[in-house]
Structure 1
Amino acid sequence: MLNLPPRVGSRLNSSQFSNLYTFLVAARHLSFACAADELCLTPSAVSHRIGRLERALSMRLFQRLTRQVCLTEDGKRIFEILQHAVGELSEALQPSSQAEIAGAIALYARPSVAQCWLVPRLADFAERYPLVALDIRVGNDNADFRSGNIDLALYYANGDFPGLVSHKLMDEKMAPVCSPEYARRLGLLEQPGNLRHCTLLHDALAWNNAASDAEWTLWARAHGMLALLPERGITFDRSDLCVVAAMNHAGLAIGRQQLVQKRIDRGELVLPFGGFTQSGHYDYYLVHPPLDPMPRRLHALMDWLHECASQSPLAGGAEPLLG
């Protein structure tokens, strides 16, 4: 049990600044062990440093549970202040606005938009900003901005991001797609009702908390074709895998226009039931924690992404950031 002196006006001395940084790292990870790994200390040393800081400040920063630690209300308040202060200091230490933009950025994206839209465009960014080190990470879970050291996330979502800042990047539309051979074999162009005889290809993780058949249900309901949806199907956890399966005659996939338009233009896919329609408020968003100020390198990346979006099949996202 940590014994704290009575709460009076607390003052920091020079010996506490390293303890403040130790607290910042531990609060970001919510783990003394992970903080110890990052700081090249032992977990016991991390615990002792934070204990000394708590006694110096006369406030408890962590609630110590059996297998984990969590921030107290004071801890949350101090953590937010420190994050802001360190962010401002890091920005101040960057070269002047006249110098080249440099630094590291960790960008998290859903696998399909990374594979089909983002990665093919990265050569242009690397040429424009040779001193920016991009770290591209993909996954179907939500980004952990606190412990994952993620700067920016690119999501296919409905725009609801509590506690985070979001910028709409670009619109999306959807339509069933398949190979020309599959459409011919099942007579889909002549008889749309033959949908009932198809194999449906499902992206089971289309967006956060989506049902495995969410995209097909959304499209079929909008077109009055729910009764025609067959039960036969194959499920994937990525939209681009559905599309690859469709190109190889495995069935019908829901194609997102931003990700499949080039394949349609090349004749690798066809739209057996007509063109693309709105995807039910699901579009692409850039998401990050509140940042004031925003680092110049992150500002540059977001502006570049908006520029790329303006050249995509659907130009209708938000305007690039200014300033």
Structure 2
Amino acid sequence: MLNLPPRISSRLNSSQFANLHTFLVAARHLSFARAAQELCLTASAVSHRISRLETALNMKLFQRLTRQVSLTDEGERIFEILQSAMGELSEALERSSQPEIAGAIALYARPSVAQCWLVPRLADFIERYPLVSLDLRVGNDNVDFRTRKIDLALYYANGEFPGLTSQRLMRECMAPVCSPEYAQRHRLHENPQNLSNCTTLHDSLAWDHAAYDAEWSLWAEQHNLLAALPKRTLTFDRSDLCVTAAMSHAGIAIGRQQLVQKRVDRGELVLPFGGFRQYGHYDYYLVHPPLNVVPKRLQVFMNWLHMCAQEQTIEQRPN
């Protein structure tokens, strides 16, 4: 059962449900323009609906920036509630209308998120939908849906996918990580200036058109530590390989929270300079070509992915 906060439910009426749906789509895209395309509205109409909803709820849901929008804390909370409710409703309708969902799904994913996040969870999906088969392919290039038989892609990106339909699956935060032994050997805890004596481990293909040191530069610039970055480096084309090298005491890597949190919890990695933070606008997205009707097997798979992402978000919240 979904328990809406009383102060929200008391302010809703039948005229606001269309506005709630508009908010859900706009929050998923983080774009009024892309929401307008999906809903067959104008961007102005989307903006007006969001404004009416904010007035009715007496809360600000979006931060309006020059060329983009972002969710406020309240907006994030309402988005999670709506996303969960819609996922449960969709799953209930799917099961009642077609108990046996079957077919094949071809999924293309970035190697690191496939290795560290997706594959360890697949047993649950197989148990829920035993008649759905999954063909998983990985790579660092963006897939061409026109020439390859791919149903869905899972990308780590900035959310810009011209001509395609996208949903943000989960946010990502970053922090430098290394083995406990490496941190102790180089006296790194609360001493970021000691980075100059270390080896930095780089994912050279962190996102499209990224420089080989993009993640480290993004982190160091925010902390005024560009001068402290060492010249000694090891470079890989996958984030999970950087983390494996860090666990083997080869150096210090930029860890993505969704991929390394469990290793931190187990003590295999440490955060010598503090906890995870969001840098830039790079998150995980589900991407597919525009479809008039999303096949049921694909819809239940995307719903399941959102459920997994939401469960992990809840686990990561401080007690």
Where on the TM-score scale, by shorter chain, does this alignment land: which range? Answer: 0.5 to 0.7
C-alpha contact 1:257 1:313 (8 A) present in aligned 2: no
State the match for 2:202 in structure 1.
Answer: 202
C-alpha contact 2:104 2:134 (8 A) present in aligned 1: yes
Aligned partners of 1:275 and 1:290: how far apart in 2? 38
Using a 3 Å threshold, how does the CA distance of structure 1 residues 303 and 189 change in structure 2: closer, same or farther? Answer: same
Q: What is the CA distance between 1:197 and its match in structure 2?
A: 0.8
Aligned partners of 1:227 and 1:118: how far apart in 2? 36
Within 5 A, what are the aligned runs for 1:138-287?
A: 138-189=138-189, 191-287=191-287
Counting aligned pairs with the same residue, the percent is 73
C-alpha contact 2:196 2:228 (8 A) present in aligned 1: yes
Q: What is the CA distance between 1:314 and its match in structure 2?
A: 6.5
Aligned partners of 1:294 and 1:134: how far apart in 2? 16
TM-score when normalising by structure 2: 0.68
CA RMSD of aligned residues (A): 1.6
1:311 partner SS: helix
Aligned partners of 2:259 and 2:101: how far apart in 1? 30
Within 5 A, what are the aligned runs for 1:1-323?
A: 97-189=97-189, 191-313=191-313
C-alpha contact 2:177 2:254 (8 A) present in aligned 1: yes
Q: What is the CA distance between 1:96 and its match in structure 2?
A: 9.6
Segments of 5+ residues of structure 2 without an aligned counterpart are: 1-94
The list of structure 1 runs, each at least 4 consecutive aligned residues, that deviate by more than 2 angstroms after superposition, is 95-99, 313-316
- Higher gyration radius (CA): 1
Aligned partners of 1:271 and 1:203: how far apart in 2? 18
TM-score when normalising by structure 1: 0.67
AA in 2 matched with 1:251: G
C-alpha contact 1:202 1:236 (8 A) present in aligned 2: yes
C-alpha contact 1:170 1:315 (8 A) present in aligned 2: no
Q: What is the CA distance between 1:98 and its match in structure 2?
A: 2.6
State the match for 1:42 in structure 2.
Answer: none
Aligned partners of 2:188 and 2:116: how far apart in 1? 26
Q: What is the CA distance between 1:313 and its match in structure 2?
A: 4.1
Segments of 5+ residues of structure 1 without an aligned counterpart are: 1-94, 317-323
C-alpha contact 1:109 1:138 (8 A) present in aligned 2: yes
C-alpha contact 1:157 1:207 (8 A) present in aligned 2: yes
Q: What is the CA distance between 1:279 and its match in structure 2?
A: 2.6
State the match for 1:80 in structure 2.
Answer: none
